[in-house]
Amino acid sequence: MKFLRRVGLLAVAGAGIASAQPAPERPVPDEPVPEQPAPIDPSVPTVAVRGRVIDALGRPVRNATVTIEGTLDSVKTGRDGWFRLRAPIGVTLVVDSKTFGTALATVTGELLDEIVLLTESQLGETITVESEAPSAAPGAAQLDRKELQRIPGTGGDIVRALTVMPGVVNLQIPLGYSGVVIRGSSPQDSKVLIDDFEVPVLFHNIGFRAVVPAETIATLDYIPGGFDVAYGRATSGIVSLTTRAGDEKRSTQAEISVIDGGLLAQGPAGGKSRYLFALRRSTIDFVLPSVIPDSVDLSLTTVPRYYDGQLRLDHQYNDKWALTLSSIATDDTFELFATKNEDAKSKRFYNRTRFVRLTASARYKEGPWQANLALSGMAQQFLFEAGLYQKIDIRTPTVTPRFELTRSEPKAIGLKDVVWRVGAEIQSGRGSVEVALPEERREGEPMPAMDPEDTSVKFNGAVWVTDFAAWTAVSANFDPRVRVTTGVRAEYYVKPDEFSVQPRGEIAVKVADHWKVRLSAGAYRRPPEYQSEFISDTAKSERSKQTIIGLQYEPREGVRVQASAYYTDRSALITHNMDNTLGNNGRGKTTGGELLATYRGGPWFGWLSYSYSRSTRIDGPGEDSRLFDFDQPH
C-alpha cells in the first residue's frame, strides 16, 4: 500500500492593471503542518519483541521496514527476515517493503507469529479461509485443552472425554486390556501416541484416570480410521496426544481429591526457554483401608495405586530451529485380595504396569522446507501374578529414531498448494520374558475354567522385536474444489519376517458452498505383539482394508457437522490353531455410521455425537459368523 500526499498548485492568470499603485497584499493562508510522529513515551513499559517477515512461499524478506504505528521508532529486517525492537504490549507494527505491500501486526508478547507480505498480484487473488483446520480423516476430531476440560460429565479427564467420541465403545473392557475399542476392533488394534510416539497404556489400571492430566495437553486427536501414512502398526484407529510447552509466566498449582493429588509447575527458563513439570499420586489407596472396617467380610477388596509424571523443556535455538526434551512416566500397581475364607492358592491377583519414555526432538523450518527429527527411548514392564503359580513378567527397553521432511509449493506441475512429505522410523527393542500361564483366551473363545495351578504355557528368555517403516505422500489441489492426497507406507517386521506395502489416499471435493464430500481408503497392518503373540513363532501380522465416505457441513464460523459411513474388511486375524499354537485364520467385517457436530463460539462449546456399528468375526475356514465380543450397536 502506498500513501500519496496531494499537493495543490495554484495557477494565477494575468489581469489588466487599473491603477499604477501596487495592489494590496492578500493574506496568505497558513499551510497545515503535518502531524509529526512522536517517540514512545519513556514512562510506558516496553518489552523486547522478536518477529520474522516472510513472503507467501515462506522465504525471509530482508530490508523490510518495521515501524511502531504513530512513532518514529523503526528497524530493518535482516537477511533471515528477523527483526528486534522494544515496544509496548498492544501496539500495532506497520511492516513495509518496496517489493511487497504493507502488513500490520499487533504486539502480544515477546515472540510474534510470522508476518506474511504479499505482492500486488497476490493481493488480487481470492483466498478462502476456513473457520477450522480440516479434520485428519472423515469422522476424526480434535479437542484442545480447554475443550477437554469443558465436556460435561468427563471431569476434565482424557479417558472420559474419549467415551463421547463417535465410534468408541463405552464398555468396561477386561483387566489386562489397555487400549481403546474403536469401530468394532480389539483394543490392541489401535495405537495411543504421545508426542508422536507409542505408549503402552493410556489410562491407569483403575480405569478412570489418564496417564497424563488434561492440564498438560495441548490437543487430543481422535482418528477412528483412514489415518495418514505417517501412522502405522495399527489396523483400526489412532489416539494422539500432543503435550504443551510451559507458559511464559511462572506459576505453580496443586490439587488433591479422594482419587489423587497432583502438582504442576511451569514458566520461563531464560529468554528462549520454557519448562513444564507435573506429578500425581493416587490417594484412593489411602482412603479405602480407612473407610472399609476390618470386620466387614467382602468377597473382594480392590487396592489400586499409581504415580505419573511429566517433564518438558522447550528451547527456541534460533529462527530456524526449535528444540524439545520431554519425558513421561507412570507406575501402576493393582491388587485384588480375596477374603480369608478362600484357598490361599487363588487368594491374590497382582498387576504392575510401568513405563518411562524420554524424547529429544528438533523442528526445522525455513522457506518451503520443514523437518522434524526425534530420538525416543522407552523402558517398560508388565507384571501379572495370579495365586502362587501363574505369572507373566515382560521387561522391554526400546529405541525409536524418526524423521519427516516436508516441502510446500504454491504451484508445481500444474497443481496448486502442493505438499510433499517423506519420512522413516525404526523401532527396536529387546524383551526379557518370563511366562507361566494357562493357554491365553482369545477374543470370541469361551471363558476357561479357573485352575490356579495351570501353567501349561511356559517361557523364559529374550525376544528381539525390530520394525522398519518408511512413507511418502503428496497432497495437491487439482482445481479450487478438489484436493487429492495419495501416499504409501512400507513396513518390515523382523521377527515374523514380513514386508508389506500399504497404499492410502483421500479425495476431498467441495460440492457447494459450506459443503464438502471426502472419500478415504487404505490398507493397514498390525504386527503380532500383544500378550502371547510376543513370544509366538507362528503368528503373523493382522490386516485391514478401510473405506470411509464423509459429508461435512460448515454453515458458519465455529459450526461443523460431520456425517460418515465406513466399511472395514479384516483378514489374517490371530486365532488358536488346533494344536493351540497361534495362527492367522480369522476374518471380520465392520460397518457403521457416525454423526459428529461441534460448536465453538466465544465462551460456548457444544458437542453432539452418535454412532451405529455392527462388527462380526469368523474364527476359521468353514466356521459360522458371530458378533464381536465388544460389539456395541449404539
- Which positions ≥6 away from 473 have C-beta within 8 Å? 228, 229, 230, 420, 421, 485, 486, 487, 488, 504
Q: Quick one: what percent of the chain has pLDDT higher than 70?
A: 84
**C-alpha grid cell, residue 304:** 489400586
Q: What is the DSSP letter of 269?
A: -
Among 116-120, 472-476, 489-493, which is the least confidently predicted range?
A: 116-120
- Which positions ≥6 away from 547 have C-beta within 8 Å? 519, 520, 521, 566, 567, 568
Interval 12-24 mean pLDDT: 39
What's the pLDDT tens digit per position in 227-264? 999 999 999 999 999 999 998 889 999 999 888 899 99
Output the pLDDT for position 119.
66
Q: Is 227 left (phi over 0), alpha (psi -120 to 50) or beta?
A: beta
Single-letter code of the amino acid located at 407: R
Which residue in the block uniquely carries the three cell numbers 530490508?
63
Interval 187-198 mean pLDDT: 93
Q: With a cut of 70, say whether residue 146 has pLDDT above it.
A: yes
Beta bridge partner(s), residue 494: none
Distance CA(591)–CA(155), nearest Å, equals 32
**C-alpha grid cell, residue 113:** 507469529
Q: With a cut of 90, say whether residue 174 has pLDDT above it.
A: no
Strands of 387-455, DSSP E: 390-412, 415-437
Interval 194-203 mean pLDDT: 92
Distance CA(95)–CA(116), nearest Å, equals 9
Among 90-99, 123-132, 432-441, which is the least confidently predicted range?
A: 123-132
Three-class SS string for 86-149? EECCCCEEEEECCCCCEEEEECCCCECCCEECCCHHHHCCCCCCCCCCCCCCCCCEEEEHHHHC
For the domain covering 47-123, report its CATH number. Answer: 2.60.40.1120
Q: Are 611 and 592 in contact (CB under 8 A)?
A: yes
Distance CA(381)–CA(431), nearest Å, equals 9
Q: Indicate the SS3 state at residue 232.
A: coil
Distance CA(283)–CA(215), nearest Å, equals 19
Output the pLDDT for position 104.
87
Say what the pTM is. Answer: 0.78
Output the pLDDT for position 16.
36
What's the pLDDT tens digit per position in 443-468? 888 888 888 888 999 999 999 999 99
Three-class SS string for 290-312? HHCCCCCCCCCEEEEEEEEEEEE
Q: Indicate the SS3 state at residue 540.
A: coil
Q: Are 525 and 502 in contact (CB under 8 A)?
A: yes
Q: With a cut of 90, say whether residue 631 has pLDDT above it.
A: no
Q: Is 235 left (phi over 0), alpha (psi -120 to 50) or beta?
A: alpha
Please list the residue range(s) of the chain that carry CATH number 2.60.40.1120: 47-123
139 backbone dihedrals φ, ψ, rounded to 5°: 90, -5
Q: Are 491 and 525 in contact (CB under 8 A)?
A: yes
Q: How many residues does the chain have?
A: 634
What's the pLDDT tens digit per position in 117-132? 876 555 555 444 445 6
Which residue in the block uniquely carries the three cell numbers 458452498?
513
Nearest to 286 by CA among 259, 256, 307, 263: 259
Q: Are 169 and 443 in contact (CB under 8 A)?
A: no
Give CATH superfamily name and number for 240-441+454-627: TonB-dependent receptor, beta-barrel domain (2.40.170.20)
Distance CA(119)–CA(448), nearest Å, equals 73
What confidence category does residue 7 fall into, taking pLDDT thresholds of 50, 70 and 90?
very low
Please list the residue range(s) of the chain that carry CATH number 2.40.170.20: 240-441+454-627
Q: With a cut of 50, say whether residue 23 has pLDDT above it.
A: no
603-607 long-range contacts, CB within 8 A, separation 24+: 605/146, 605/147, 605/150, 607/151, 607/164
Among 377-381, 408-412, 507-511, 522-526, which is the least confidently predicted range?
A: 408-412
